Every structure is written in C-alpha cells, then in structure tokens.
Structure 1
Amino acid sequence: MDEGSVRVAFLCGDDLSADEQAARDWCTSAFDADSLRLGDVADASRLAAFDACWWHRDRPLGTDDADVLPAGAADTLDTFVADGGGLLLSGHALSAVDRLGIDTVPPDATGTDELPNGGGFLAKRLHADHPVFESFPDLPVYTRPSGSQQAYARYEHVLPSEGQVLASAVRGADYEVARKSLIEWHHGAGHVLGAGSELRFHDEFAPDYEVATTQERFVRNALTLLAGDRYPAFSDRPGVAGPPADDDAGGATTGFTAMRERLADDHHRPGYHLAGPAGWLNDPNGLIQWNGRYHVFYQYNPAGPFHGTIHWGHAVSDDLVHWEDRPVALAPDPDGPDRDGCWSGCAVDDDGTPTILYTGGRERAQLPCLAVSPDETLDRWQKDPANPVIESAPTDLDVLSTEDWSAEFRDHCVWRDRDTWYHVIGSGVTDVGGTALLYRGETLDEWEYVGPLLTGDWEGSGAVWECPELLRFGDYDLLHVSNYEDVVYFVGSADLVSPGFRVESHDKLDYGDFYAPQSLETDDGRTLLFGWLPEARSTKAQWEAGWSGCLSLPRELDVTDEGRLRQRPARELTALRGDQVVGDDDSAGETLTLSAGEHRRLPLAGNRYELAGEFDLEPGATLTLSLFESPAGTEHTRLRYDGEAVVVDRTDSTNGLGRDGDARAAGATTDEQRLPVGDGTLSLRLFADGSIVELFADEARCLTSRVYPTREDAEGVSLRATGGDVTISDLRAWHLDGTVPAGE
C-alpha cells in the first residue's frame, strides 16, 4: 500500500502537549490525516473514512480520565478495530488497552526515562522479519537520540493477557530485555500495535537527524501496515487451554510448530533434549506419569528468552523420547497471588485428582498455591480461589529477607505417607545458610509447620536452598537442593517427626551446567530425574538465538545397599540410536590401543550422537577426546581424562564473532569444568546434542556442559593419547535421531 493513500485519524484531547502537537504535525504531513477529538469518536460515522487511527499521548492517563476517553469513544474504537481497522497506541495511550477492550491487563510501569546513550526497539528473533521493522537492515532499531528523555508506559513484571511482545527496549548497547516496549494484538478482524516507549516527537535537545528519520520510518511502517490487508498472522503467544467444555485444546498450541520451525536452523538448538518452543525455559516442574503418559511442565516465559513473567509450559511423551507440545498449563493471574509469576512446584495424585502445588509471586511475597486439573489430559488447570494455601513463611525462624523478597520461601516437594501429606519448601536462614523446611497436613490446602529438615550451617552451603526434593530408596533417603551454584545431594535418613536429616554422605549431583532438578516415579517403580541446563552465553546471544534453556536427559536414580548414588541414562533412550558408526552392534564394541602421541579420528558426523566406552590408562597417560572440531581445528571442545578426573576444556569451544562467527555464541564461557572419578578403568557414556555435552561416568557421577561452536561444520570427533598408552574397550558410537518437534 502506498503510504500516501493511507487515511489516518490522529486522536487527541482538547489540550495537546508540545510532544503531542509535534506528533500530530508530523502525521498530517506524512499521511492523508485529520485530527480527531477523542470526544467526537463516539460518533462511529466519524471513523468510517479512515483506514487506521493513531493515539499518541506523553502524559499519564488517570484512572478517572473519562473526559480523555469517554466510554462511547472506547466502544467505537473497539468496534473499529474488531471490524478490520488498525490502531496505533504510543506513549501513555498504551495504558488505555483495558478501557478500549483490547486487553484486560494494562501496562504495569509508567514514568519518564533518561536516555544518556539513546534507545530504541530490540526486535525478538521470532519477529525480526515483521513488517514493522521493514527497511531496517540492522536490528536493534534506534529511535531515540543520546541525551534525550521519553515518557513511557510498558509491560515489565506482567504480560498482556492477549497480546504478544514484538520487541523489548535497547539502551545504548545494553539489552533491556525485561522492558517490553512493542506489543501486538490481533483483535477481531483488525490489529493493534502498542509502542508505549521509544517514540517522542518534540525534543528540547539538538536533533539527531538519523535517529529522527528512523523514528519516522518506523511509524510510517506501523500505520501503513495497520491500514492494509497484509498483516502477518504469526503468533508466538499460544494461549492457555480453554474451559473443560471446550473439547479441542489444539487451538491453544497453535503456533508452537511454527515457532519451532523458525528456530530449527540453529545448530546450537538440541534435537533430542527437550527445549521450549521458543523464549525462556528453566526448572522442570510437575513431573508425573499419568495414565501411562509422561508429563513434563517447565518454567516458561513466552515474552522472550529471559527470566520473567513465568508461566508453566507443558510437554508430554509416551516413551520419554518423542515429545509433544501441549497448551500452557499455568499463567499469572493479574488479580491473584501469582501476578508476577507461577514459579516452581510439583504435581501429585490426590485420590485421583491431578494437583499442582507451585509458588506464586506477587510484589515481595512468594507463597504456595494450589491448582487441580479437571481432565485426564492435564491440559486444563483450575487455581484454588483460596490461594495461597500457606499465608506466610515461618515466624519462629529468622527466614532470610532480601531486596527482592520479604522472605526467601519457594519451591515445593510434596508426597503422601499413609494418611499424611508431607511438604518440603526451599528457604534460607539469615546469617546461617540455606534450609529445607518441612510441613505436614491431612489435606493439600491446610499445612502445619514442623521445622527445618536440614540447614546448611557450613561454609559454602549457600544462602538459599532452592528446589529441594526428598527421595526415599529403601534403607536410605536422598535430599537434594540447589544453592545458586550447584545441586548438592545428601544420602542418609530423614526424621519427619523431630524433624531432621542424618547425613551419611554428600556430593554434587552434576559437576557442570545443571540446576533445579526434579524427579517422578514411573509406573514400574523407577525414579527418573530431569534437570535444567542453563545457557553459558551472554544475554545478547540468547536474545539473538530466540530461545534459552533446555532440560537434561531423564536419568534413572537409585541408591545401592552401600548408600552409593547411581545415575544412569533412562533405558528408553536407546531408542534414539540411529546408525552405529563404531562397534558391531549394541552389545559389542571395538577395542583399540593408542600409544603415546597417537591420534585417531572417529567416523562421527553432525552434532547429535552417543559415544560409550571403557578407558584404561598407563601411569602418567592422558586421553583427550576432542568434540565439535572445525576442519582447521580452530574450534574444539576437549575432554581430558588423566585417571583422576575428566576435565572439560572450553578454551577453544567457540571462535567468537569472526567472519564465520555467530552472534548466538557471543559471550560463551570458557570456564573449565572438572568431574572427579575413581581410580581404575573409567566407564563413560557421552551424549552430544547441539550445544550440549552430557557425561555419565561409572554410572555414578555426571557432568553437563554447554558449548557453542560458531561454525556449523565444527563436528569432528577424535582421540589422542599423551604421556603413555591408552586402552579403550567396548567403544561404541551412534548417530542419534532428533525427536523433539522441528528437531531435524
């Protein structure tokens, strides 16, 4: 559409500010536009001649500003958009989305920004090709000059209930990802764009003509797009499943496949580890096998690849190998105790009713909340209207208070023993350390505080223990906690009466990039554990990638009669195996000896495989296993085994941002990781998947590493012996199949 033919109604009040006047003057010069008083919009015939409306306001919209936006005008604009019109809301006008009937959740942050280094729109990867960014060869799009100010109304702690985030804010070179500055609504047959910040038309400072031109081009794009009939239908904001009467929950997953397809060409993206469709994923939650199906819920931010506005994502599997996206299970309630996030929790079977206990966050409070599912698919969840089910943290304990929280009190592990429910919550004691607090009750909505089960009163234990979980294995109990740095487990015996935990041994559950695990009990009596694999690259790199975080492979956990923890890949994972490229078959591998200085390449290709073997060293020998090797050897990740430890050397895992570089690898860590192992032969199973290396040593210890080779041809694998001979027996390797949607 020729923008000169676009008819625009510039909406305004009786008294325009200097900025609103400047916006109106520009609009009438750039388009076939007329100024239209909001008080006159109630007459629907006044809008009939226009293709799009623009309301720009740089002053806060009061809660009782009926004279600014009369009810009749709001109704008329709502109908105008629903019938196919377009509406641009900029500045504080975005705060009127609820009054206009566009969304029930208005922006939660308003004020004035100082922009010493300028600012603009930081487009999400999924929306980088959106027509509103058309003609901009470089992203971000800078629309505000250095040294300027701007009025803003934007979403920070909350999300709109219906809209999707197209862009966050950029400040100079800093990615302010939580400041969601550009929102889009598909409303009826029409569309709404909300640019609550990054636009100002009257500057008291010397103008930056390049930035001013960019701003004008951006608004031209927005109004021309809103006035036309080629508005993109893609959405990265699938909804929560509807009420039980709605038998088709498929509409709530519409868009997941398209989202995954847009990210499928990312060679860092895993193919058989479970990742979200896009955006942010952290802790696995609510793990349960229900009616034979495995359900994995996870912390999910649909607004983008950053932590905030946490929902519960949901995936299901019949075999722990092939996964299917399901509707978002929980979303924050703007009027509830979880307004700022539905955080970590667990799922239990309450006499046939699937039930979730999760942490609801609102302002400085985080408290346990309850939800139940009315259907067997676990797609739909109903929150308890009496939430929260515990009103406060214990008052007879000096629970740690921080700048963010009045009490660090979150994450839930719940189980039933005969007629009594038990409930462990993560917390911390001021000037002491992290703690796991025990509750008990006859029902899931009434709890009695028992006391600390275990408190980390030693150096290095961590100030807060997150995601505690108590597991029972015959004569032994296992308690694991996440202390911001590591996942530590304790083997011993739990006293649920006093209470207390007698520790017989402790260690790390994983020595690498692994956090916040949770387990489930299978129908055949096994304990399977998943963990969160956080990124080891910069915020900018995650934003450029469009996704962040994935889950570990499911691990079978048990404790031997001697009190030794065992961790093994779930037996179902052998179904991932495709072509076997080393070894004769699943039961027979190769035996080879490498003399000191000898180098051997393995016939593995791509970045998705399993490697297994038994490694035996002569005294003084070291085996180096090199993964993700580029053809010229400039990129590689080296695993060195010297008989005492496996060391992951990430010094050359990525080239950075050279000619063949990749912004999605920016800031990738080069930190070394070390996995101590016992003396003697090392039994190792290694899983490589995109940017993941997951190691299982001697069926006991694990190390998970995140690496980001910039070159897509960094896929070589080789072995080298130094300092002595190395014997490798039962060496086997397979290419593995991608099984998550769009994993291929």
Structure 2
Amino acid sequence: MPTDHLLPRFHIRPPRGYLNDPNGPIQVGDTTHLYFQYRPSTDTDVPVEWGHASSADLVTWKLHRPAMAPEPGGPDTDGCWSGNTIIEDGKVRAFYSGRRNDLEFQPVITSLSSDGGATFDAPELIGLDPGPEEGITMFRDPFAWYADDGLHLVVGAAGPDQTASIRHYRRTDAGWSYIGDLASLVRQDVAGNDSGEGWECPQVYHLDGRALAVVSSWSHADGPANVLAFFADQPERAVRVDDGPSFYAASAMRTSPYGPLMFGWITEGRSPDWWEEDGWAGTISLARTVALGPDGGLRFAPVPTVDSLRSGSGSAPVDGGGVEIGAQAEISVPHVDGTVLLEFGGSESVEITVDTGAGTLVLDGRHASRDERAEPWRIVVDDAYDTSAGAPALRLFLDGSVIEAFTSAGRVATARVYPTQAPPWRITAPSGALTWALDGAGDRSR
C-alpha cells in the first residue's frame, strides 16, 4: 500500500533511514545548524552518525552530508551519540557521547569544527567516567555552556537506589572538575509522571536567573519514558514538556533571535515492520520557543517564522461542511467550545475537543488508522487555555503523519497518525476556525 503521504515534508528528516535525537542546535552568523542522530538505513545496529541540517529562518531546512561519523577503532567506533555544541574562539565545538560496546560507560568526547559547523575533526577523549565506588549504572549525553566562571558541562546518569542525576563539571586550568550533582531525584511518581531511574539528554536553560533542567526520564527495564522539566533546585516539582506520546530527547538552543528554543525527536507510533518496509523512521519537531508564563510555568510556542510556511491564497474559514486539506496544513481554532474533526476517509479520523470551561484539550487518535500496526492514543491536556495570551485556543500543525498541537496557555502535544487513505482529507471545526495549506517546500527539508 503506498504510504508516501505519511512522510513529513517540512519537519526535518532525510527521505530514508532512521533518525532520532536532535543534537547541538547553534547559530553561526545568520545560519542555524542542527545535528541529529542518524543511520542511513532502518537497521538500528548500524553505528549512529551526526546528520546535519541548516536554516536561515528555523523552519525551512537544507540537508547536508553527515557532519560527524564514527572513527574506526576510536572512542566513538560504535556510534557518535547525543551531545551539544558551543562557539569557542569563533569555531564550533561539539561535546557528545561516544559509543563503545566494550566499555561500561559511553565516554565523553569533544570535537572541533573549523569550517563553520559543516564537519568535525577527529574525536578527543575527555574522560569523566564515574568511579566504581559511586555505583553509577548509566552515564551519557553531555551538555556544555559558558557562564561567568567558565565552561560548564553536565552528563545524565542513573545511580544506586534508582536515583537519577545530572552530574555537573566545570573546566579549570587544571582540567575538568566534578562539582557535584546539578540535580538528583530518587525514582518516584511526580504529578502522574515516572521521574525515571536515570536521566538522558540533560539540557540546561537559564530563565529569570534560575537553572531550568530538561531531562528525558529513562530506566534500564523500560527504556525511554517522558521529557520532564524542573528548576534544578526543585526536581520533585517536575512537569512534562509535551503531553503527547511522541516527543523525546529534547535539545536546547540557549540563544536565538526568538530567545531560548527547544527541538525534540518525534518518535514513531507504528510497529517496526511498517517503518522498515517504508525505509524511514523518526523526524524532528518544529522549533519551539521556551518561556516562563505569568504563573511561573513553562510556555511553548512555534517560532514566529512558521507562518512563512503558509501557501496559496491565504486562510480558508472552516464552516458548514468543512474544508478539504492536503497532508500539510495548519488549523487555528479560537476560544470557543466545540469539536474539530480531521477526517482522512474510510472511517479514519482524529477528533479534537476544545472545552474552554473545563480548560481541557482532548485529542483522540484511536481511529486514525485502519492498519492495526498503528498505535492508538488519546491525549488530555489540562489548563490548556489563556485568553489573555493573544493566541488562538489551538494551533494544530499537520505534516503527513505528524501532529503538533499548541494551545494558548503554552501547552503542546505531539502525536503520530497513519491513515491508509491518501489526501485530500477534510477538516470540520467550530465557527471562526481557519486553515492554511502549508508548503512542503517542494520538500524543503530535502
């Protein structure tokens, strides 16, 4: 069955292969570079390399050759895993975890780019492995940043008694020094979320003078769970970054023309045999602005330049019998109660309920595909609306099999849909809703 309509067109991904964690978004001059975990095939035993995309506006991306590949026999011989980048003396420096199947821990590695972030030199081992007496069972994914007192770096870890931690280091004239945990938490339920046995992909923002940590909760037995955010001094008050089932491994861009940004890996929601058959899996989320709301809570929104994806003659009001749409579309819904129905045809649909009185947004994708290999889902977003924010109650972005839903209170939910029916599709919505065709850029992400 042809499924080309499921391939995202304006989200970052190559036309084939397996993509996962975004890494090291950074601005060099007027260009943003974003790296990502990538295998040119869907064989997940193939060592990971750093794929590379660049953009002048954070929404239209150009793919390049991989910026980094494993060095045979080197400290990353089995894969160049997750990390981030900084600007050092005008050059791009990467910090990342090397994969060595014969080592207990993934070594922390650095590598320098002398061509503006296009390629990186040979890996240099830093060597920050915990001592055996510490009982650390997982250690990976460095994240570095400059502060007034020099260069800082954190690494995610899992320790004794299922204690997740962010290990904190600082570079001095004598080398790297471990200065304790930036944060740690014994595994527990935090507001309905598993805090994790360990924390992968730690990211650090500084908002209003406070260190905000973003981690991917993980356990040896269950693997990845959710992306959580908390102020470093209050990990027990962690909140979910995304209310959907398909967002993981967040990557921070600490500064941009629009302030702090976040990217994430949009995971698949279908069985591996299907994406192996199609020859591709995974994509990168839209760039999201990160801010604190008046109540001190986190708020996310798509970068303003996402509006440039709108194509055609402009918005179409969604009234009466609805509007036909293609596989790339945006739907905007005002603060009115009602149901948005995204109909793919052949009894395949997604139902979205806006309830401003209850403050909830419900997205129901249990009937989005007739193919039993697609995973059913239902999302409830609480405290979803803020009429004072100057934003629609809901902005929903559809890109083939990707749905990203942003609310006026800065909540976001990401999910996957796999309709067997190709477009045209149909959207019906409450009075005042608008839809736009979005330009897949003639495949801008290629």
Q: Deviation at 1:306? A: 3.5
State the SS of the aligned residue for 1:601. Answer: coil
Q: Does 1:380 align with 2:95?
A: no
Match of 2:368 among 653, 656, 659: 653
Output the CA distance in 2 between the equivalents of 1:276 and 1:442. Answer: 40
Aligned 1:301-450 pairs, distance under 5 A: 301-304=39-42, 306=44, 308-363=46-101, 364=103, 365-376=105-116, 378-384=117-123, 387-400=124-137, 408-442=138-172, 446-450=175-179
Task: Find the residue that maps to 2:38 and give its secondary structure.
Answer: strand
Quick one: which amino acid aligns to residue 425 of structure 1? V
User: How many Å apart are 1:728 and its aligned residue?
Assistant: 4.7
CA distance in 1, matches of 2:276, 2:425: 24
Paired residue type of 1:269? L
Q: What SS class does the counterpart of residue 4 from structure 2 fall into? A: coil
CA distance in 2, matches of 1:542, 1:712: 17
Q: CA deviation at 1:362?
A: 0.6
* Aligned match for 2:336, one of 591, 595, 616: 616
Select which of 291, 302, 305 maps to 2:29.
Answer: 291
The 2-side partners of 1:680 and 1:555 are apart by 18
- Match for residue 641 of structure 1? 354
1:552 is aligned, of 264, 285, 303, to: 285
For the 8 Å contact 1:648–1:673, the answer to whether it is kept is: yes
CA separation in 2, counterparts of 1:549 and 1:351? Answer: 34
Matched, 1:476 2:210: yes
Distance 1:676 1:561, change over 3 A: closer
Paired residues of 2:204 and 2:252 also in contact (CA < 8 A): no
3-state SS of the aligned residue for 2:257? Answer: coil
SS at match of 1:485: strand
The match for 1:51 is none
Report what 2:440 is aligned to. Answer: 738
Match of 1:627 among 323, 338, 342: 342
For residue 191 of structure 2, what is the aligned residue in structure 1?
none
- 1:694 alignment partner in structure 2: 404
Corresponding position of 2:382? 676
Q: Does 1:582 align with 2:297?
A: no
User: Could you tell me how far apart the structure 2 residues matched to 1:532 and 1:382 are?
Assistant: 26
Count of residues in Structure 1 that have an aligned counterpart in Structure 2: 425
Structure 2 SS opposite 1:267: helix
1:303/1:309 contact within 8 Å kept: no
Match in the other structure for 1:703: 413
Flag the structure with more relative contact order, 1 or 2, with Cα contacts below 8 A and sequence separation at least 6: 2
Report which of the two has the higher share of helix: 1
Query: CA, structure 1 residues 740+431, in 2 after alignment: closer, same or farther (shift >3 Å)?
Result: farther
The alpha carbon displacement at 1:716 in A equals 1.4
Shift in Å at residue 465 of structure 1? Answer: 0.6
Pair 1:508-2:248 in alignment = no
Q: Do the aligned partners of 2:162 and 2:198 also contact (CA within 8 Å) in 1?
A: no
User: Deviation at 1:344?
Assistant: 0.2
The whole-number CA distance in structure 1 between the counterparts of 2:87 and 2:134 is: 31
Instruction: Provide the rounded CA distance (Å) in 2 between the counterparts of 1:740 and 1:394.
Output: 52
* Whole-angstrom CA distance in 2 between matches of 1:536 and 1:624: 24
Match for residue 250 of structure 2 among 502, 517, 540: 517
Q: Where do residues 76-475 of structure 1 align in structure 2 (5 Å cutoff)?
A: 266-304=4-42, 306=44, 308-363=46-101, 364=103, 365-376=105-116, 378-384=117-123, 387-400=124-137, 408-442=138-172, 446-459=175-188, 460-475=194-209
Give the C-alpha shift of residue 461 in structure 1: 1.1
Deviations 1:545-590 (A, max 9, x none): 111000000011112454221211101111001132425xxxxxx8
SS state at 2:273 partner: helix
Q: In the alignment, which residue of structure 2 is the partner of 1:213? A: none
Q: Provide the C-alpha distance between the structure 1 equivalents of 2:159 and 2:145, rounded to a whole number of angstroms.
A: 24
Distance 1:713 1:316 in 2: 30
Secondary structure of residue in 1 paired with 2:348: coil
Give distance in 2, aligned partners of 1:629 and 1:601: 15
Does the Cα contact within 8 Å between 2:384 and 2:410 map onto a contact in 1?
no
**Distance in 2, Cα, partners of 1:307 & 1:510:** 29
Give distance in 1, aligned partners of 2:359 and 2:293.
23
Measured after TM superposition, the shift of residue 673 of structure 1 is: 2.3
Q: Flag the structure with higher strand content.
A: 2
C-alpha displacement at 1:679, in angstroms?
6.9
Give 1:395 shift. Answer: 4.3
- The answer to whether the Cα contact below 8 Å between 1:305 and 1:548 also exists between their aligned partners in 2 is no
Instruction: Classify the secondary structure of the residue corresponding to 1:477.
Output: strand
**Residue 8 of structure 1: aligned partner:** none
SS of 1:575's equivalent in the other structure is helix
Q: In terms of Rg, which structure is larger?
A: 1
1:574 is paired with a residue whose SS is helix
Percent identity of equivalent pairs:
31
Measure, in 2, the Cα distance between the counterparts of 1:555 and 1:740.
23
Are the structure 2 counterparts of residues 452 and 601 from structure 1 closer, same or farther at C-alpha, using a change threshold of 3 Å? farther
Quick check: 2:61–2:444 contact (8 Å CA) kept in 1?
A: no
CA separation in 2, counterparts of 1:644 and 1:528?
26
Contact 1:394/1:449 (<8 A) preserved: no
> Structure 2 counterpart of 1:648, which letter?
L
Name the counterpart of 1:540. 273
- For 2:74 and 2:48, locate their aligned partners in 1 and report how far apart those are by CA, in whole Å: 14
Q: Structure 1 pair 742/427, CA: closer, same or farther in 2 (3 Å)?
A: same
Give the CA deviation at 1:396: 4.9
1:542 alignment partner, SS class? helix
- What are structure 2's unaligned runs of at least 5 residues? 189-193, 218-223
Q: CA deviation at 1:309?
A: 1.0
Give 1:435 deviation, angstroms.
Answer: 1.4
1:276-316 alpha-carbon deviations (Å, 9 max, x no partner):
24101001001100121010100001133536410000011
Relative to structure 1, the CA distance from residue 529 to residue 343 in structure 2 (aligned partners, 3 Å threshold; closer, same or farther) is: same
Shift in Å at residue 523 of structure 1? 4.7
Specify the SS of the correspondent of 1:541: helix
